[in-house]
Amino acid sequence: MKKLVIAAAISTLLSMPAVQAADYVIDTQGAHAFIQFKVSHLGYSWLHGRFNTFSGNFSYDDKNLAASKISLEIDTKSVDSNHAERDKHLRSADFLNVDKQPKASFVSTKMVPKDGANFDVVGNFTLNGVTKEITIAAAKTGEGKDPWGGYRAGFEGKTSINLSDYGIKNILGPASETVQLDLVVEGIRQ
C-alpha cells in the first residue's frame, strides 16, 4: 500500500511540466511598480491616487501561462492622493478604515490567455476585510536582462471595483461608485 502511494507520487511528479515558471519579486525596493487608482470627481473630472507601500511576487512562464501566478499585499495606510486632509479622510472609517483593515491583498487563482500579449488574471481581491473575485485585464510589456546583471519582466493591468461591493459606502456621488485600478508590475527574477 505504502509503495503504491510512493509510486503514484513519483508518477505525478514526472508528469508535471518540465519547464517550471520562474519566480519574480516585484521591484518595490526600486519603486518600479505602481498601484494607482482613479475615481470620478463629481462626474466632471478624475482624481488620481496611489498606494505607496505594497509588496508581492509572481511566477511567470511565457510558454505556460497557466502555471503563472501573482500575489500582492497593500498597506492601506499608504494611500496618497497628494492632499493631506483628503488622505486622512480616505484612511478613516468612511473609506479604507485602515485602523481595522491595514492590509488589502490580491491573490491570483487562474490565468486566462487572450490574443497576443494579453491575458486575464482572475483572483481574489480583499479590501476593507471583504474578499471578492475580480478579473484584471493584463498584458506583458516586456522582459529581458537588465544592465546590472539581473533579469526583469514587466506587466500592466487594469481592473475596476465598486466601493459598495467592499462595504465602503459611496458618499461621493453616483459617478464615483466605481474605482479604476491601474497596476504596473516589474519583477526581478530570483
Partner 1 sequence: MQTEQQNNATKPKTLHYNNLSVSLHWLMALMVVALFALGFWMVDLTYYSSWYKTAPYWHKSIGILLFALLLLRLFWRFKTGKPEALASQNMKLQQVAAIVHMLLYLLLFSIVLTGYLISTADGRGIEVFSWFELPALGELFAEQADIAGALHKWFAYVLMALVAMHAAGAVKHHFVDKDATLKRMWWHKN
Smaller CB distance to partner 1: residue 17 or 173? 173
155 phi and psi, to 5 degrees? -140, 155
Give the residue with the Cβ less far from partner 1, 113 or 173. Answer: 173
Kindly tell me which residue out of 83, 110, 132, 145 binds partner 1, with binding defined by CB under 8 A: 83
Q: Rounded to an integer, what distance in angstroms lies between the CA atom of residue 109 and that of residue 69?
A: 7
Pick the stretch among 24-32, 50-58, 81-89, 111-119 that binds partner 1 (CB under 8 A).
81-89
Are the C-beta atoms of residues 42 and 173 closer than 8 Å to each other?
A: yes
User: How many residues sit close enough to partner 1 to count as binding (CB under 8 A)?
Assistant: 11
- Interaction of residue 103 with partner 1, rule CB under 8 A: no
State which of residues 87, 97, 125, 128 lies at the interface with partner 1 (CB under 8 A): 87
Backbone angles phi, psi at 87, to 5 degrees: -65, -35
Choice from 31, 63, 85, 148 touching partner 1 (CB under 8 A): 85
Closest approach of Cβ 94 to partner 1, in Å?
Answer: 10
Residue 151-190 contact track with partner 1, rule CB under 8 A, x = bound: --------------------xxx-----------------
d(CA 70, CA 55) in angstroms, rounded, equals: 11
Smallest gap from residue 177 Cβ to partner 1 (A): 13
C-beta atoms surrounding 44 within 10 Å: 7
The x, y and z cell numbers of residue 69, run together, are 501566478
Stretch that binds partner 1, among 63-71, 84-92, 121-129, 134-142 (CB under 8 A): 84-92
| Whole-number Å distance between alpha carbons of 173 and 162 | 13
How is 130-167 classified by DSSP, letter by letter? EEEEEEEEEEEEEEEE-TTS-EEEEEEEEEEEEGGGGT
Residue with cell 517550471: 20
Nearer Cβ to partner 1 (26/96): 96
Binding site for partner 1 (CB under 8 A): 77, 82-85, 87-88, 91, 171-173
